[in-house]
Amino acid sequence: MEYLDLSNNQRTGAIPETLSELQNLRYLNLSGNNLIGSVPEALKKRVLDNTLIMSLTGNTNLCGVDPCLRKKKQKNILVPVVASVSGFFVVLFGALAIVWLIKRKRIAGSSESMLRLKNRPFTYGEVSRITGNFRQVIGEGGFGKVYLGTLENGTEVAVKMLSKSSKQGYKEFQAEDQLLMIIHHGNLVSLFGYCDDSRHMALIYEYMANGNLRQHLSEDHLKVLTWSRRLQIAVDIMISGLDYLHNGCKPLGPPIIHRDLKTTNILLNEDFRAKIANFGLSRAFATENDSYVSTCPAGTPSYLDPE
């Protein structure tokens, strides 16, 4: 594992010492949580050795020194602590700035170069095998049909195949895998891999057992969503998922606007936790000052703002 993003997940407790044992780990993002205690010495040493880039911002109860000292004693050691912590964060923010520039460049780069970094490439033969020769269709959209698949380790996945008659086409295929290479969050559907052999293109996602939100709001659905679940879905999407796209991506890249948020693009896992899917029409803003006005509107009729 080279890249681990656990940011904005309301995680608590101390940072596990075992993270320092991941020898191939190059980037660790723990920002925006409720962590406590001290940063393990082994992790701090790797940061100082420039073998690890680590982000801890937003953890107000996390101590930058070890052992943690109580606030009432901090006055006596304020100067050395500020000096050491400041030096640590100068190195950290400098490294994060380099990572941000690299990620920003990758958004404009080719899909192939980005996928090599993180996502596993699948051959068409592998895609056919994990789907049982495309036996079970579990969905269909503008991109094409979605099939149920199972990886070698038993993990169920959803395989979205690009249809030759798709109006969305390769441009959206490329946009989606580019964005999902960079963004990782508990309320965004995860991308396991891709297939691109020119004739057959597919994206392999985590499987969401309870389908999309529209199915559960239909009058024909047997089970009615309780109000508590409806509120939880709203929180998952608005406060967690969209807030991450608009604000939480900034350490790694520019803000992202989904542009096609609707009930069919909100998927539910086995616990009815909601995740945003289908990023083919999303747009990344290079800077916060970029205009939101577009002369080529994108989205779905009746979901677009009238303006």
User: Which residues are tagged catalytic?
Assistant: 260
Q: How many CA atoms within 13 Å lie on the side-chain side of 50? A: 6
Quick one: CA dihedral 172, 177, 182, 185, positive or negative?
Answer: positive
- Helix (H) / strand (E) element for 134: namely none
Q: What is the C-alpha to C-alpha distance for residues 305 and 49, in angstroms, rounded to an integer?
A: 50
Token digits for 2?
């080279």
Return the closest-CA partner of residue 34 out of 68, 58, 69: 58
Those residues whose C-beta lies under 8 Å from the C-beta of residue 131, and which sit 6 or more positions away, are 147, 148, 149, 159
Q: Which residues pair with 274 in a beta bridge?
A: 268
Collapse the DSSP code of 61 into the 3-class scheme (helix H, G, I; strand E, B; otherwise coil) and give the result: coil
For residue 260, report the phi and psi dihedrals to the nearest 5 degrees. -145, 45
Collapse the DSSP code of 79 into the 3-class scheme (helix H, G, I; strand E, B; otherwise coil) and give the result: helix
Cβ-based neighbour number of residue 224 at 10 Å:
11
Collapse the DSSP code of 77 into the 3-class scheme (helix H, G, I; strand E, B; otherwise coil) and give the result: helix
Token digits for 14?
């101390």
